[in-house]
Amino acid sequence: MQEAAIAVTDLACRRGDRVLFRGLTHVLEPGAALQIEGHNGIGKSSLLRLIAGLARPFAGSVSVSGGIGLLDERPALDFSLPLGRALEFWDALDGAHQTRDARLERLGLSALLDIPVRYLSTGQKKRAAFARLIGQRAAVWLLDEPLNGLDGQAMALAEALTAEHCAAGGIAVIASHQPFRLDGLTRLALADYAR
């Protein structure tokens, strides 16, 4: 895995005419896990998009070392394809064919490979998104509401996968309303920066 690091300096985010947060400074080093907390609309997803480089800050800067993997409500899988073919597309780009069977088995997806993605349940799509994320081998995981739609067993698996990623030197930034159980997890209340 590539060296992972995130440095956010005096960051501000604006949506339309409204500044969602400002003055956010935080550093994450290899193995770190951070949960971003706050009510709907406070800017949790916007912060993840800023870290991912998908949006520009209103002020301040973001520096990221290592590849970035984003898991959000859009699983980035072709809904018209069977799950197996949809994942094969990404595995070919990521060079992740050698780990495919183990990922699918662990995530309970092996029996679903012939089913078009559009017919999968919310939880099955989320588990498929985790399979894609693991195959990326990105050093930085940005997880936007990663537990939504998952049953208790799948939630525990998502937490375990994230713990393993951090134990291997990766970084996880988690935006979630739900408690995320992870040893060493620190929390950032975005409301503290909404001035």
What is the rounded CA–CA span in Å between residue 81 and residue 87?
9
**Least confident residue range of 21-25, 57-61, 101-105, 170-174:** 101-105
**Percent of the chain clearing pLDDT 90 (strictly above):** 85
- Is 165 in contact with 137 (CB distance < 8 Å)? no
Q: Which of 105, 77, 82, 72 has its CA nearest to residue 93?
A: 77
CATH architecture of 1-67+175-195: 3-Layer(aba) Sandwich (3.40)
Residue 97 pLDDT more than 70?
no
Q: Residue 98 — very low, low, confident or very high, per pLDDT cuts 50/70/90?
A: low
Beta bridge partners of 82: 116
Q: Can you read off the two tokens belonging to residue 155?
A: 């939630």
The H or E element containing residue 10 is strand 5-15
Q: Which pLDDT belongs to residue 173?
A: 98
pLDDT digits (tens, 9 = 90+) for 134-187: 999 999 999 999 999 999 999 999 999 999 999 999 999 999 988 999 999 999
Q: Which pLDDT belongs to residue 107?
A: 95
In the chain, what are the domain boundaries?
1-67+175-195
